[in-house]
Chain A
């Protein structure tokens, strides 16, 4: 499995903190898997201009190719203006429309208020569905008060992140086996 974790905020540290925790959990529980953390805060990404994802250069090409090569994606995102950040939407715009076909995708959403709980459901999931992702149904929603000095201090959140990582890997491996059997059945 090729696992890619995306931290999609250019601002602050909460999304970074949560995605780094996801990376730690994967390393602890699934040490043999290939794992990459993409932190958009550290990268210089251009806006999509509609070209094929292979035709970009620099950091943009690094991100598009890394995401396209992934089998599993964990997307960590803050909530800006009641929606996902433009930095994340731009990553989707850089990719082909069916870019997430045969990829298992999990979501971790950060927000300053519980009023934003449905943002993943109403804003992020439709984009992932459109791009043909196999979405892990439940996501982890983390509020500002769950963080303190770049640490997650709410045990409930930590356990939910463990559950998310486990469920995502179980689903990804199961899908991989299903697709293998399906492709074998074609006999060509």
Chain B
């Protein structure tokens, strides 16, 4: 018999199929087709508008990450998510990821519990470690503590979630002495996910802690990531948790157009040029061309092709939620709108229908 999991697990209704969302890292990049970049203010307002459109189209969740690098506007991501809470009605609002290592978990919890109350119980947190590390120096942390900072602060965040009054002592934050941490979210706790990159190491830590896993990926064959999910579930089982009850989100590049070639043609320059700015390396065209194969994890193509790919990924991963990154690298807003429309009218209904668990 599995032990009790005290973490707050988001509820998924398997009879309705997987959840479908979109996510943005709040990148602020040149549109390579025009060579122009919109202002930071316009980009922020368009992110809020993107969330509103996703809400109108019936998507389940809107996710925004935190970055302090050049070419991003998402430094204060919780402030943007708060604006989204005001602009939307039904869609869940999540970070993806909040860099908990360089934040105070108490403040993060206060922010997201507030967003939860403002949005009538729609907030979630995805906590991560940062793939780029400029924020350590910016915010006064030592990169040598990269892993220790994350593990301690993530654990503290989970404890705050479980305990309205908390006594705690650690290495990287002042102790808490029966501290009263408020406001409390609408349902008492927030769903808190652990962000995981490609490798199994961090996935194993998520499994051992019995927390939901949010797995982001750039490219490659879908099969290359099944090991990470298997390691997560195995670690959860070994730690005594009911692995089947732990949800997984997968996140990656997405772009739909009327046909595959148009999608590749429109989106590739955004990815390739955008990654040069944000990661220092472009995206190999050969690897992007493989997106035409159902086994490639890059969800770019016609709506029908993307439906087939997500269903294939669901067969392989059994994930509860998929979130699409469709705005990276200066994608113009009319294309973002077009993509959300295609998701709402064609892709989401088909994906939900085919992943819905039939009643026996």
Known: A186-B285, A186-B289. A53 touches B264 (CB 8 A): no
Q: Which residues of A contact B144 (CB under 8 A)?
A: 49
Q: Which residues of A contact B285 (CB under 8 A)?
A: 183, 186
Contact B132 A52 (CB under 8 A): yes
Known: A49-B143, A188-B261. A54 touches B286 (CB 8 A): no
Give Cα A68–Cα B264 distance, bound, in whole angstroms: 26
Contact B286 A182 (CB under 8 A): yes
Contact B280 A53 (CB under 8 A): yes
Interface residues of A in 140-184 (CB under 8 A from B): 182-183
Interface residues of A in 61-106 (CB under 8 A from B): 65, 68, 96, 98-99, 101-102
Q: Which residues of A contact B112 (CB under 8 A)?
A: none
Interface residues of A in 42-66 (CB under 8 A from B): 49, 51-55, 65
Q: Which residues of B contact A99 (CB under 8 A)?
A: 281
Contact A52 B265 (CB under 8 A): no
Contact A55 B286 (CB under 8 A): no
Contact B289 A55 (CB under 8 A): no
Give Cα A183–Cα B268 distance, bound, in whole angstroms: 12
Give Cα A125–Cα B329 distance, bound, in whole angstroms: 35
B279 located at the interface, meaning its Cβ lies under 8 Å from any Cβ of chain A in the complex: yes
B34 located at the interface, meaning its Cβ lies under 8 Å from any Cβ of chain A in the complex: no
B131 located at the interface, meaning its Cβ lies under 8 Å from any Cβ of chain A in the complex: yes
B284 located at the interface, meaning its Cβ lies under 8 Å from any Cβ of chain A in the complex: yes
Known: A68-B280, A188-B265. A51 touches B286 (CB 8 A): no
Count of chain A residues near B, Cβ 8 A: 18
B interface bracket (residues with beta carbon within 8 Å of A) = 10 to 19
Contact A51 B289 (CB under 8 A): no
B175 located at the interface, meaning its Cβ lies under 8 Å from any Cβ of chain A in the complex: no
Known: A182-B286, A183-B285. A55 touches B261 (CB 8 A): no
Contact B134 A68 (CB under 8 A): no
Give Cα A68–Cα B282 distance, bound, in whole angstroms: 11
Q: Which of A101, A182, A186 has the most CB of B within 10 A?
A: A186
Selected contact of B264 from candidates A49, A96, A188, CB within 8 Å: A188
Q: Which residues of A contact B289 (CB under 8 A)?
A: 186, 188
Give Cα A99–Cα B279 distance, bound, in whole angstroms: 12
Instruction: Give a binary string over B122-146; 1 marks a CB under 8 Å from any A CB, 0 the rest.
Output: 0000000001111000000001100
Give Cα A27–Cα B133 distance, bound, in whole angstroms: 39
Give Cα A68–Cα B268 distance, bound, in whole angstroms: 21
Give Cα A65–Cα B265 distance, bound, in whole angstroms: 29
Interface residues of B in 114-167 (CB under 8 A from A): 131-134, 143-144
Give Cα A68–Cα B265 distance, bound, in whole angstroms: 26
Contact B264 A52 (CB under 8 A): no
Contact B280 A188 (CB under 8 A): no
Which residue in chain B gives the minimum CB-CB distance to A99?
B281
Q: Which residues of A contact B131 (CB under 8 A)?
A: 52
Contact A187 B133 (CB under 8 A): no
Contact A101 B280 (CB under 8 A): no
Give Cα A76–Cα B27 distance, bound, in whole angstroms: 39
Shortest CB-to-CB span from A136 to chain B, Å, is 21
Which residue in chain A gives the minimum CB-CB distance to B277?
A54
Give Cα A19–Cα B261 distance, bound, in whole angstroms: 46
Q: Which residues of B contact A101 (CB under 8 A)?
A: 281, 284
Give Cα A57–Cα B285 distance, bound, in whole angstroms: 30
Task: Name A residues whose Cβ lies closer than 8 Å to a Cβ of B.
Answer: 49, 51-55, 65, 68, 96, 98-99, 101-102, 182-183, 186-188
Contact sample, A vs B, 23 pairs, CB 8 Å cutoff: A49-B143, A49-B144, A51-B143, A52-B133, A52-B279, A53-B280, A54-B132, A55-B133, A65-B280, A68-B281, A96-B280, A96-B281, A98-B281, A99-B281, A101-B281, A102-B284, A183-B286, A186-B264, A186-B286, A186-B289, A187-B261, A187-B265, A188-B265
Task: Name B residues whose Cβ lies closer than 8 Å to a Cβ of A.
Answer: 131-134, 143-144, 261, 264-265, 268, 279-281, 284-286, 289
Given contacts A68-B280, A186-B285, 10 further A-B contacts (CB under 8 A): A49-B144, A51-B143, A52-B131, A52-B133, A54-B132, A55-B133, A65-B280, A183-B286, A187-B261, A188-B261
The 10 nearest A-B residue pairs measured at CB: A188-B264, A188-B265, A54-B280, A186-B289, A51-B133, A183-B285, A52-B132, A55-B133, A55-B134, A188-B268
